[in-house]
Amino acid sequence: MTPEIRPFAEPDWPAVWAIVQDVITAEETFPFDPAMPEPVARAVWVEPPPGLTVVAVVDGQVAGTAKMGTNRPGPGAHVSTASFMVAATARGRGVGTALCRFAVDWARRKGYAGMQFNAVVETNTSAVELYRREGFEVIGTVPRSFQHPVHGRVGLHVMYLEFDGP
Amino acid sequence: MTPEIRPFAEPDWPAVWAIVQDVITAEETFPFDPAMPEPVARAVWVEPPPGLTVVAVVDGQVAGTAKMGTNRPGPGAHVSTASFMVAATARGRGVGTALCRFAVDWARRKGYAGMQFNAVVETNTSAVELYRREGFEVIGTVPRSFQHPVHGRVGLHVMYLEFDGP
């Protein structure tokens, strides 16, 4: 069951919004406003070019989504970033890994020098372990900077994968 | 010569824009687009409430500026952030320190749990040392993530000051 990854298209929005809304209202994995209105979420999640938003399709259903682009402007613009969300019903089935690999391949092809994740919740161990398997390392952890509904204040990792080294 | 720190007001913009433009076109200390048009720079630098933008006044002149606010929304909203710029003609005279202390005091009074700097250029040693003196520590450094016009690709520090500890 390898997910098909393809660019986001207009008709995908209801399925993508369902995933985004589920993830942000849980408040367990993303430092996003849980009350973000749908149009704001759309503007945040659907990246205009040169960024890209994609969906992962499994059995004809949108099982996950990713966005990717430049992490910082100007003198920071050679580093990419990406975010991933997987539908609750599709977790543990390789969708996140497929999305992460797609994003890294995309960023390499675009000529970025690396990919940075700015705020990975340390208790989101399935994501942290996934990123480690793909070569990312924890650069540092800002302690108690994420208010988790179950675990209280937990750290946010900065993670980085440099594509070709110094 | 202690700078007076006061809220930004409309008539300050030409002086603030001169500082911002000088800093971003140098491309040595901020990962901002150096070609940022004036209205965009104004929107980026002048924080709407609940954030705040201030100026440091020395001898009746705007010698520096700072902006401060929330670092991330939702579950990250208990952490503040701030940015500081000092006029080239006013550097080395305590303006940056006065602005940093003002921002930290402001964030403590607002009830934030800490202050995070997301991207401090490692070769900007006067800033790094200033922040260390004020109690900030380097959480980690993303290697070669800032393209410096003189030093080439240098690291960006994530720095953090937790106000009251665990």
B144 touches chain A (CB under 8 A): yes
Q: What is the pLDDT of residues A31-41, one digit of tens each?
A: 999 999 999 99
B69 Cα to chain A: minimum distance (Å): 15
CB contact under 8 A, B143 and A162: yes
* pLDDT of A82 strictly over 60: yes
Averaged confidence pLDDT in chain A: 96
B52 Cα to chain A: minimum distance (Å): 20
B58 Cα to chain A: minimum distance (Å): 30
Q: What is the pLDDT of residues B35-86, one digit of tens each?
A: 999 999 999 999 999 999 999 999 999 999 999 999 999 999 999 999 999 9
* pLDDT of A166 strictly over 80: no
Could you tell me how many CB contacts below 8 A there are between chain A and chain B?
117
Cβ contacts (< 8 Å) between B156 and chain A: which residues?
76
Q: How confident is the model at residue A11 (pLDDT cuts 50, 70, 90)?
A: very high
Q: Which CATH number does A4-162 carry?
A: 3.40.630.30
Provide the residue ranges of all domains of chain A, joining segments of one domain with +: 4-162
Backbone angles phi, psi at B141, to 5 degrees: -130, 120
Closest listed residue to residue B20, CA positions, set B71, B67, B60, B58: B67
Three-state secondary-structure class, residue A126: helix
Averaged confidence pLDDT in chain B: 96
- Relative to beta strand B114-121, strand B137-148 is unpaired
Closest listed residue to residue A52, CA positions, set A3, A117, A5, A119: A5
Complex-level ipTM: 0.94
Q: How confident is the model at residue A2 (pLDDT cuts 50, 70, 90)?
A: confident
* pLDDT of B165 strictly over 70: no
Q: How confident is the model at residue A104 (pLDDT cuts 50, 70, 90)?
A: very high
Q: Residue ranges of the alpha helices (H) in B27-150?
A: 38-45, 95-109, 125-133
Give me A107's structure tokens.
């960023």
B140 touches chain A (CB under 8 A): yes
Residues, chain A, total? 166
Q: Which of A36, A74, A138 sits opposite B27 (nearest CB)?
A: A74
A60 Cα to chain B: minimum distance (Å): 32
Name the percent of chain A lying above pLDDT 90: 96
* pLDDT of A135 strictly over 80: yes
B50 touches chain A (CB under 8 A): no
Q: Which of B33, B142, B162 sits opposite A158 (nearest CB)?
A: B142
Residues 6+ apart with CB under 8 A from A57: A3, A4, A5, A6, A63
The confidence score (pLDDT) of residue B164 equals 82
Which residue has better confidence, A1 or B102?
Answer: B102
**Could you identify the residue written with the tokens 């700078």?**
B3
* pLDDT of A1 strictly over 80: no
The confidence score (pLDDT) of residue A164 equals 81
Touching A: B residues 67-126, CB under 8 Å = 71-79, 113-114, 116, 118-119
Share of chain B residues as helix, strand and coil, in percent rounded to the nearest 5: 35, 35, 30
pTM (global) more than 0.80: yes
Q: What is the pLDDT of residues A24-71, one digit of tens each?
A: 999 999 999 999 999 999 999 999 999 999 999 999 999 999 999 999
Cβ contacts (< 8 Å) between B158 and chain A: which residues?
139-140, 142, 158
The confidence score (pLDDT) of residue A151 equals 97
Cβ contacts (< 8 Å) between A147 and chain B: which residues?
75-78
A140 Cα to chain B: minimum distance (Å): 4
The confidence score (pLDDT) of residue A165 equals 55
